[in-house]
Amino acid sequence: AQTVTQSQPEMSVQEAETVTLSCTYDTSENNYYLFWYKQPPSRQMILVIRQEAYKQQNATENRFSVNFQKAAKSFSLKISDSQLGDTAMYFCAFMKHLSFGNEKLTFGTGTRLTIIP
Amino acid sequence: DGGITQSPKYLFRKEGQNVTLSCEQNLNHDAMYWYRQDPGQGLRLIYYSQIVNDFQKGDIAEGYSVSREKKESFPLTVTSAQKNPTAFYLCASRRREGQNNEQFFGPGTRLTVL
């Protein structure tokens, strides 16, 4: 079974600074996907960024980027120029490459990020 | 507007009563999922459905039941057999092709059993 570990329950950073959230996972699979989801106070889950394990290049979405280290099974999220709207719970998630609809997301326990004005 | 709706947003029930949570999507997505979220924990999969009239148990299916009679609807029933039903429940859906395996989530329902 896959496990996802987020070792930082809470973090805070000043507005405009850069912050990195860590995530490690354990799997024997070779093909899989990794995701970072954001859950703001509204509790709506929003996809931030995704990474396919077969791609060596780290994914980037505007101010959000990942550092994917497949051998180390590490998948950290970097938020640059942090904004007040980035305040949220952030969840790292793992998904095996399976047939459609049969895939399951395994989530970490989350990191509560607070951006300080 | 296309999206996933869950109703109600807050739900209160007495212990021993069954309760059904609604999940509707107008995204024409094929697969639908139910997750449970507890404080200090990540989301855990309860049930999922790939197509109409078919569904599979997730990691914590005991005490729950689902149906998938229509493509756009995937209601979850929390039965009296569920030991600790108080939680936040999230529904998600995904299209068969494209969108890079992304699951889209609804706004959630907070269930409190008194």
Taking only the tens place, the pLDDT of each residue in B28-47 is 998 999 999 998 788 999 99
Query: Are B56 and A102 inside 8 Å of each other by CB?
Result: yes
| pLDDT at res. B1 | 62
* Dist. CA A80–CA A43, nearest whole Å: 23
pLDDT in tens, A37-80: 999 988 889 999 999 998 889 999 999 999 999 999 999 999 99
Confidence band for B10, pLDDT divided at 50, 70 and 90: very high
Query: Are A103 and B101 inside 8 Å of each other by CB?
Result: yes
Pick the residue from chain A with its C-alpha nearest to B99. Answer: A50
What is the nearest CA distance from A109 to chain B, expressed in angstroms?
Answer: 4
In percent, the amount of chain B with pLDDT more than 90 equals 73
Query: Are B31 and A109 inside 8 Å of each other by CB?
Result: no
A89 and chain B in contact, CB less than 8 A: no
Q: Is residue B97 pLDDT above 70, yes or no?
A: no
* HEC assignment per residue over chain A: CCEEECCCCEEEEECCCCEEECCEEECCCCCEEEEEEEECCCCCCEEEEEEECCCCCCCEECCEEEEEECCCCEEEEEECCCCHHHCEEEEEEEEECCCCCCCCEEECCCEEEEEEC
Q: Is residue A110 pLDDT above 60, yes or no?
A: yes
